[in-house]
């Protein structure tokens, strides 16, 4: 009897857990849909802003005055903006991007690497590794707006302009599908030329076939009134748009990973309930059989 009571108590406990994970799954699914919609809507702007930055970067050498965000670094120190979540229960989302960052650190172990951390999970991991953290950001609204990331973008841009770091990288997670999220580390400062060339070729490969594909060349923009007057605002705005899009991709990846993790937890709880129910029925049947045997034995002894 004691065994059946213990199993029954465990079944009720697992059922309560399943209710919680199911509710978290539904909440994450709702947040994921909203986050994915924002991410998908921002992708065309992000892609075209990359093209514009590419074209400017390819032609900036011919300009009389070079914008500081295009200039080659004078030192090899690196600043990484690491984007993670504040909470767990989101599968391998945090683990993947942190693991990619650690691999990046190993590949550049001969260089000084500092961090701007976004999210408590990344902040804790970097502190355990003993790396220097320039700034840590943990308080963001659920529906992030462009103005919310301005302190991070301004800080990274100012540190690069002051030549404290030779390059600025961002470690984020790209949303591919609800079941697939890919961590990525990309250089955002100085604005790289090679990566944007590859982006243009990638866009061309989607839009044209091999038969009618034309040679790709960057656009030579005409600035009015002057290059020096407009380039500061244009580059600064497009750079912030790139960073903001990385945040949107990461948020969509986090919510989708959390939804899948909670669904897996709910399914596992359901399987555990089935196993415990079977064990409960077997124990109950065993007790009934034992009691019948005892009654039969008692009647036989009386007679």
- At residue 194, does pLDDT exceed 60? no
Give the CA distances from residue 137 to residues 119, 124, 152, 189, 192, in Å, rounded to whole numbers and listed in that order. 6, 12, 8, 20, 26
CA 23 to chain centre: 22
Asked whether residue 247 is domain-assigned, the answer is: yes
Instruction: Single out the residue of 276, 285, 83 nearest to residue 169, CA to CA.
Output: 83
Contact by Cβ (8 Å): 20, 265: no
How far, in Å, are 58, 108, 116, 186 from residue 100 at the CA level? 29, 12, 16, 11
The verdict on residue 295 lying in a domain is no
Per residue in 141-164, pLDDT tens?
Answer: 878 888 999 999 999 989 988 888
Q: Which residue has the tokens 């697939």?
A: 180
Within-domain flag for 182: yes
Which stretches does DSSP call E strand in the chain? 78-83, 113-118, 133-137, 167-177, 180-189
pLDDT of residue 274 exceeding 80, the answer is yes
| Cα 226 to Cα 54, 191, 222, distances in angstroms | 19, 21, 9
Q: Which domain holds residue 225?
A: 33-206+218-259
Please write the tens of the pLDDT for every residue from 97-133. Answer: 999 999 999 999 889 999 999 999 999 999 999 999 9
Q: Domain for residue 67, yes or no?
A: yes
* pLDDT, tens digit, 9 for 90 and up, residues 12-51: 999 999 999 999 999 999 888 888 888 888 888 887 777 7
Predicted local confidence at residue 207, as pLDDT: 47
Give residue 223's pLDDT. 67
Q: Is residue 227 part of a domain?
A: yes
CATH of the domain at 162: 3.40.1380.10
Is 277 contained in some domain?
no
Cβ 249 vs Cβ 175: under 8 Å: yes
| Overall domain count for the chain | 1
Averaged pLDDT score across all residues of the chain? 82
């Amino acid at each position: 009897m004691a065994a059946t009571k213990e199993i029954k108590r465990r079944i009720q406990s697992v059922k309560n857990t399943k209710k919680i994970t199911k509710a978290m799954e539904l909440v994450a699914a709702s947040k994921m849909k909203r986050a994915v919609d924002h991410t998908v809507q921002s992708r065309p702007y992000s892609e075209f802003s990359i093209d514009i930055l590419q074209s400017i970067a390819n032609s900036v050498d011919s300009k009389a005055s070079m914008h500081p965000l295009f200039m080659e670094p004078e030192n090899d120190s690196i600043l990484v903006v690491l984007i993670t979540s504040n909470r767990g229960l989101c599968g391998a989302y945090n683990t993947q991007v942190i693991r990619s960052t650690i691999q990046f650190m190993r590949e550049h172990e001969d260089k000084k690497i500092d961090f701007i951390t976004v999210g408590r999970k990344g902040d804790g991991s970097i502190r355990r590794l003993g790396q220097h953290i320039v700034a840590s950001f943990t308080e963001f609204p659920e529906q992030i707006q462009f103005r919310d990331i301005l302190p991070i973008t301004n800080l990274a841009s100012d540190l690069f302009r002051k030549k404290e770091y030779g390059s600025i990288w961002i470690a984020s997670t790209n949303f591919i599908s609800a079941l697939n999220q890919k961590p990525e580390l990309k250089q955002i400062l100085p604005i790289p030329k090679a990566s944007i060339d590859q982006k243009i070729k990638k866009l061309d490969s989607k839009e044209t076939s091999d038969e009618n594909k034309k040679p790709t060349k960057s656009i030579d923009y005409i600035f009015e009134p002057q290059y020096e007057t407009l380039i500061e605002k244009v580059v600064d705005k497009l750079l912030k748009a790139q960073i903001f899009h990385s945040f949107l991709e990461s948020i969509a990846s986090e919510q989708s990973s959390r939804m899948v993790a909670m669904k897996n937890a709910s399914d596992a709880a359901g399987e555990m309930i089935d196993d415990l129910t079977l064990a409960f029925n077997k124990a109950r049947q065993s007790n009934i059989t034992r009691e019948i045997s005892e009654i039969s034995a008692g009647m036989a002894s009386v007679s």
